[in-house]
Amino acid sequence: MQHLSGLNKEQKEAALHTKGPLLILAGAGAGKTKTITHRIVNLIKEGVAPEKILAVTFTNKAAKEMRERIYAEIAKNAQEQNTVPFVATFHSLGVYIIKENARILGLTKYFTILDDNDTNSLIKESIKEIGLDPKQYEPRKIKNIISREKGKFTTMEKYQERMNDPISNESNYLGKVVSQVWTLYENKKSKENSLDFDDLLLKSVKLLKENEEVRKNYQEKWEYIHIDEYQDTNEAQYLMSKLLSEKSKNICVVGDADQNIYSWRGANLKNILNFEKDYPNAKIVMLEENYRSTQNILEAANEIIKKNQYRPDKNLFTKNKIGEKISLYEALDENDEAEFIATKILEIIDTNERKDVFKRTLGRSDGDGQREFSAENSRGEHKNIFPEVAILYRANFQSRALEEAMLRYNIPYQVLGVKFFERKEIKDTLAYLRTALNPESLSDIKRIINFPTRGIGKTTLIKLFSGEKENLPIKMQIKIQNFYETLNEIKERIHTMKASDVIKFTVKKSGIENELMAGTEEDMERLENIKELATLALKYDNLENGTGIEKLLEDASLASDQDSIMINTEKKEQKNGVKLMTVHASKGLEFQYVFITGLESGLFPHEKMGDTKSGEDSEEERRLFYVALTRAKEKLFLTFANFRTIFGSRQINAPSEFLSDIPADLLERGDENPGIKTIYI
């Protein structure tokens, strides 16, 4: 069993399990992706056809990593195979099922996937149509209610029944407004041949549940189901997993109840806690050996999480070194906190630089290994050796002071979570491509029909969308005709040219290139971003007959925060530097050095006005801190401020309760500012 070499006892036990349900409880850094990969390879070695295997995860980044690992292991250990397992995210799996059954659902295969902004615009229009003010009934709030209901696998019809039931406790005025808006919103999407992000799960799962023929087709297609991050599944994802594995019962789920941090997105902790009830004959394997962090970091993490009650009993351990103590810094305010972090990062860079010089000097016998050590180098200009450093915070507003400190000290940095595909110029370019394939996409037409400027205003659009094109002036009709001819030419190129060449053609033909080239320096930067899109499209050039652009549009629509990070960091100047992000965005990542900031009562753990969480929901903040701690491989820094300005108001803060839960012997004090008194020990 050479293909299982390198696995520990528990990982091997999971990999060798081939029949029936399997629950792998994998702690942070315990090698879960490695375990799933080897299990899939072992199934293939045991005679299971690769195309009979499905693996599902949450982000494109995670799916890409899993796909690459699986394909590499197959090439190494099962070379006779000429097919591969189907590896996807939940949402891309939903797209796949919907596209294969588009006719049943009343769609065409080129349906548009709406982004957040498009969804909000349609909901805003719907609010206005029922005679209400969008300022009073905020579109985003109504959108979130609809999204949450869809995640619970609630259809519009079911929601309306609840809201119209006079004896229902849920029936209220807002609910009835949402009900009316939802109806108009669905009608608008139907006319546009479009779906929103939540529809990708709701409609595919509804199809599986209600259409026996379709359900049997996919149950036979995939006999072995693997679900990653099972603790993050909502009701729709849970049902999709259950329906697909209903016949074979060969379902393997991997997860960690201690890392359930997305309840606000509908993630249901009960899905992983109740797995044994759903599958009574399930085998359970616990992965507790951590390969990422030092012993001190793990001991702190174990102490933090053991206070939670809604979790299987688990205790991470490691054979790694004991490591440095966790540094704790008590700052005066957020600016002092940021100053401390910046100077510590310079020390880390400096130490890293000196180690690199020393190693390269030892490696040379001609004495030429020495080089001048400069301030520029100490600030990370020597990009090949920039250490992995992350600054984590609970709320986005905390990044301001941190960014200012990075700029002040000339430390390269990147704020993660800024989406490449949400930039205006990228959305404009993609809108041309989407509309060329789906001329019914009114949201996209609105976006681009007058960009670049063609003199087509709102009044013209209203008449056009109302079917009154012939009532427009002849000159205006010609402008509109030219616009649609441009779309037809783009469509023709989509089906005959490589994806990257289609983007280059689209930018020229649409007039976007000329518009931006004649503009400001900022416009030139936007043009550079579009060129980056064309570069990104190179990986789709091997797909023929228009499927390259189709796949690019699909991936762009499904990109999450972490996926967009991966795209952003492809640029050389962004590969190196400190990463700033929320703790939520850090899940699944790891760094040599981690700073966890803002550890103050009310901020982390986070509290909102009127927040009355109870039961397992109240434990989520502790799980979030556990996730933050376990991102660090070598060194952890914890910081809090006695004063912090929030919404323009300077507040006095008590240290987070989490700090007193970490054993004192694991902590070392930072270089406190003189005159600051420790107020919690």
Predicted confidence (pLDDT) per residue in 156-166, tens digit: 999 999 888 87
Rounded to an integer, what distance in angstroms lies between the CA atom of residue 211 and that of residue 341? 57
Place of tokens 């359970």: 284
- Structure token digits, residue 569: 């960091």
Choice among 80-94, 417-431, 497-511 with the minimum mean pLDDT: 417-431
Query: Looking at this protein, which amino acid is placed at residue 21?
Result: P
Rounded to an integer, what distance in angstroms lies between the CA atom of residue 39 and that of residue 16? 6
Total Cβ atoms within 10 A of residue 289: 18
The helix or strand, by DSSP H or E, that contains position 160, with its residue range, turns out to be: helix 156-164
Choice among 237-241, 583-587, 622-626 with the minimum mean pLDDT: 583-587
**Active site amino acids:** 32-33, 228-229, 259, 631
Choice among 245-259, 263-277, 571-585 with the minimum mean pLDDT: 571-585
Confidence at residue 356, expressed as pLDDT on a 0 to 100 scale: 67
Residue 612 confidence class, pLDDT cut points 50, 70, 90: low
- Structure token digits, residue 520: 């400001």
Backbone angles phi, psi at 394, to 5 degrees: -80, -35
Confidence at residue 556, expressed as pLDDT on a 0 to 100 scale: 87
Segment 511-553, tens digit of pLDDT: 999 988 887 877 887 888 888 889 888 989 998 878 999 999 9
Confidence at residue 525, expressed as pLDDT on a 0 to 100 scale: 78
Q: Is 20 left (phi over 0), alpha (psi -120 to 50) or beta?
A: left
Confidence at residue 361, expressed as pLDDT on a 0 to 100 scale: 60
Confidence at residue 572, expressed as pLDDT on a 0 to 100 scale: 40
Count the alpha carbons within 13 Å of 532 in the hemisphere toward its beta carbon.
Answer: 18
Query: Would the pLDDT of 418 be above 70?
Result: no
Name the nearest CA neighbour of 323 among 593, 592, 635.
635
Query: Would the pLDDT of 631 be above 50?
Result: yes
Confidence at residue 560, expressed as pLDDT on a 0 to 100 scale: 60
Share of the chain above pLDDT 90, in %: 63
Which residues lie across from 205 on neighbouring strands?
A: none
Give the total residue count for the chain: 681
Share of the chain above pLDDT 70, in %: 88
Q: Maximum Cα–Cα distance for the chain, whole Å?
A: 88
Query: Looking at this protein, which amino acid is placed at residue 563?
Result: D
Query: Would the pLDDT of 366 be above 60?
Result: no
Assess contact for 503 and 534: CB atoms under 8 A: yes
Place of tokens 């209203």: 462
**C-alpha distances out from residue 524 to 464, 503, 517, 527, 575, Å:** 33, 17, 6, 5, 22
Confidence at residue 671, expressed as pLDDT on a 0 to 100 scale: 64
Higher pLDDT, 566 or 174: 174
Strands (DSSP E) found in 59-163: 86-89, 112-113
Residue 469 confidence class, pLDDT cut points 50, 70, 90: confident
Choice among 29-38, 117-126, 132-141, 603-612 with the minimum mean pLDDT: 603-612
Backbone angles phi, psi at 326, to 5 degrees: -85, 125
Rounded to an integer, what distance in angstroms lies between the CA atom of residue 372 and that of residue 354? 11
Query: Would the pLDDT of 432 be above 70?
Result: yes
Confidence at residue 510, expressed as pLDDT on a 0 to 100 scale: 94
**DSSP three-state, residue 135:** coil
Residue 610 confidence class, pLDDT cut points 50, 70, 90: very low
Assess contact for 556 and 367: CB atoms under 8 A: no
Assess contact for 454 and 512: CB atoms under 8 A: no
Query: Would the pLDDT of 147 be above 90?
Result: yes
The per-residue pLDDT of the chain, averaged, comes to 87
Confidence at residue 567, expressed as pLDDT on a 0 to 100 scale: 44
Backbone angles phi, psi at 108, to 5 degrees: -100, 165
Query: Would the pLDDT of 625 be above 60?
Result: yes
Rounded mean pLDDT, 296-323: 94
Query: Would the pLDDT of 570 be above 70?
Result: no
Query: Would the pLDDT of 583 be above 70?
Result: yes
Assess contact for 361 and 671: CB atoms under 8 A: no
Rounded to an integer, what distance in angstroms lies between the CA atom of residue 361 and that of residue 378? 17
